[in-house]
Amino acid sequence: MTKKIILITGSSGEIGKSLIQQLSNDNIIIALDITHDDYTSPNIKQITGSILDQNILDKINKKYNLSEIYHLAAVLSAKAQKNPDFSNEVNYNGTINLLELAKTQALKYQNSIKFFFPSSIAVYNVLNQNLNDIINEKDLSENPITEYGKAKLKCEKIGIKKYLKNNVDFRCIRFPGIISASSKPTGGTSDYAPEMIHSAFLNKNYNCFVHNQTILPFMAMPDAISAIINLMNAENNKIKSKVYNVTSFSPSVINFENKIKEFFPNFKLNYDIDLKRQKIVDSWPNFIDKSLAKKEWSFSYIYNFDNLFEDYIIPSLKKYYNHE
C-alpha cells in the first residue's frame, strides 16, 4: 500500500520528536524545523528552515501530495511574552502560511487534507472565576492574557471559519501542561512540573517559579501523542466540535513535590516566584472538562498521577539520560 505523505512542522520540538517516532513507521514524514535533527529512518525527509519561509512551503507544495499536516511549530507562552512581535509572527502568520498550504494542496489534488492544530489551555482566562470550576470548551472568556493564548485562539477561529470550507479538515486539541521524560521543556509556563522532575532525577534541587498551591491540568507525553493520532484517525462525521480539551490529572506543586520525594527522597524544592509567570498560570484553569473528546472520539489516557512515575517517568528518564 502507498505510504501517506505527512508534513510535521516543529518536528524537533517536544511533541514533534515523540510524534515522529509514532508516525514514521508507516508513513513518509516531511520533517520541517529550524533546528536540524539526526534521523535514521529512511521514511523521514528533513527540511531545516522556517514556517515563515514561503520558498520552503512552495517547494513542499510542488514536490509532495500531502495527506496530513501536523503544525506543531510555535513559540510557547513564557517565551512569547518576552518577544510578542516575533512570537505572533510565528504563532499566527506562520499558522496562516500552513493553512494556506493545506488549502492549496486540497485544491491541487481535489481532496480533503487533514490538519492538526495544537492549541492550549492558554486560550482560557479564569482570573475572575471559581478556581474549582471544571472548564469546558464553551467556557471561553474570549480574553486570554498571553500573546500565545491570543494567537492560538485566533488560529482556532480562522481554522474553522475560513479553512474548513476550503477542504481543510481542521482538528484541534487544547493541550494542558505536558510532561515528557524524553525531552526537556522550552519556554512554556507549565514547564515547572517537567523541570522539577528532570532536576530530581539528576540529583539537582529546583527553584520553582510558581507558589506551592499552584494547580494546573497536565498529561503525560505518550497520552498526548495518542490523543493526536486518535483524533486524526477518527471518522470525520464524528468530529463535530473540531476543538477539544484533553487532560489526565491536576496536581498542585506540593503534590508534585511529595510524589517526587517518594522516588528521590533527597530532592529539595525551593521557591523563586516569577510574578509574571505566576499571573499567567493563575489565569489558566486548574481543572478542565475532557468529556467532549471522550464523547466524540473516545479520548482516553494510560498515565494518571498514581502510575505516572513508576510506569512512565522513571523508566523513560533512565533511557533518556542513559542511566540504564
Report the nearest approach of ligand AKB to the CB of residue 219 (Å).
Answer: 10
Report the nearest approach of ligand AKB to the CB of residue 250 (Å).
Answer: 13
Q: How many CB atoms lie within 10 A of CB 139?
A: 15
Annotate 25-37 with b (16+ C-beta within 10 A) or e (fewer): eebbbbbbbeeee
- CB of 67 or CB of 120, closer to ligand AKB: 120
- CB of 95 or CB of 190, closer to ligand AKB: 190
CA-wise closest residue to 181 among 80, 244, 260, 261: 260
Angle of helix 147-158 versus helix 94-108 axis, rounded to 10: 20
- CB of 17 or CB of 103, closer to ligand AKB: 17
- CB of 12 or CB of 190, closer to ligand AKB: 190
Report the nearest approach of ligand AKB to the CB of residue 80 (Å).
Answer: 8
- CB of 83 or CB of 298, closer to ligand AKB: 83
The DSSP element (H or E) to which 291 belongs, if any, is helix 291-297
- CB of 65 or CB of 186, closer to ligand AKB: 186
Show contacts of 251-254: CB within 8 Å, 24+ apart: 251/193, 251/215, 251/218, 251/305, 252/212, 252/213, 252/214, 252/215, 253/192, 253/208, 253/210, 253/211, 253/212, 253/213, 253/214, 254/212, 254/213
| Alpha-carbon gap, residue 249 to 311, rounded angstroms | 15
- CB of 103 or CB of 198, closer to ligand AKB: 198
For 10, 19, 313, the CA distances from 137, given in Å and listed in that order, are 25, 25, 29
Report the nearest approach of ligand AKB to the CB of residue 175 (Å).
Answer: 6
Nearest residue (beta carbon) to ligand AKB: 188
Do residues 7 and 32 lie in contact, with contact meaning Cβ atoms separated by under 8 Å? yes
Report the nearest approach of ligand AKB to the CB of residue 238 (Å).
Answer: 25
- CB of 23 or CB of 118, closer to ligand AKB: 118
For 91, 155, 205, 258, the CA distances from 95, given in Å and listed in that order, are 6, 7, 38, 40
Binding site residues, ligand AKB, CB under 6 A:
76-77, 120-122, 148, 175, 177, 188-190
Do residues 322 and 184 lie in contact, with contact meaning Cβ atoms separated by under 8 Å? no
Do residues 36 and 58 lie in contact, with contact meaning Cβ atoms separated by under 8 Å? no
Report the nearest approach of ligand AKB to the CB of residue 119 (Å).
Answer: 8
Report the nearest approach of ligand AKB to the CB of residue 146 (Å).
Answer: 8
Report the nearest approach of ligand AKB to the CB of residue 38 (Å).
Answer: 25
